[in-house]
Structure 1
């Protein structure tokens, strides 16, 4: 395995989620804020699902606090960002 690829399954998922957040922030930076915020929110929801599904022995960097806290926090934040991306009315172009 390459030294740049994390060993634990959770850390590999964390890296993929981090890439999703960075791409989403890139969309925000170039002006497509709605798509960017949606991508960041979906990334956090995926992180919450991964925290639930990945076994404790392989959770790696997905573990921040306890499992309940991690899932509740990332699901709430991700869900709020997804909702935000849909409910904010479009402004003048």
Structure 2
């Protein structure tokens, strides 16, 4: 298998793998851990979006940097908070 050329595309693929693992955990049973994994992967992707140069963002870039970082950070933080505060 050939990896994508840009760093952002590699990070995006790792993010997709983390989301798939989180969804798998949700399907198997420990939903709280699965949601935490998905939320953490969004936060990590947002952090990488801030530091990856523009010519290497690849699939990690959707809109502008501010929008991408804000939106992924908001989603990640929301999922982490959701997993921590919902009673079991």
Could you say whether these structures have the same fold, taking a TM-score greater than 0.5 normalized by the shorter chain as the test?
Answer: yes
Q: TM-score, normalised by structure 2?
A: 0.96
Q: C-alpha deviations, 1:48-80, integer Å up to 9, x for none?
A: 001001011111110001111000000000000
Q: What is aligned with 1:58?
A: 56
Q: Hey, what's the Cα distance between the residues in 2 that align with 1:43 and 1:18?
A: 9
- In structure 2, the residue matched to 1:44 is 42
Shift of 1:89: 1.1
Partner of 1:15: 13
- Indicate the residue corresponding to 1:75 in structure 2: 73
Q: Which is greater in Rg?
A: 1
- Aligned residue pairs total 88
Looking at structure 1, the residues matched to 63 and 55 of structure 2 have their Cα atoms a distance apart, in angstroms, of 15
Question: Offset at 1:31?
Answer: 1.2
Any gaps of 5 or more consecutive residues in structure 2? Answer: none
Higher helix share: 2
TM-score scaled by structure 1? 0.91
Q: What value does the CA root-mean-square deviation take over the aligned residues?
A: 0.8
Runs of at least 4 residues off by over 4 Å: none
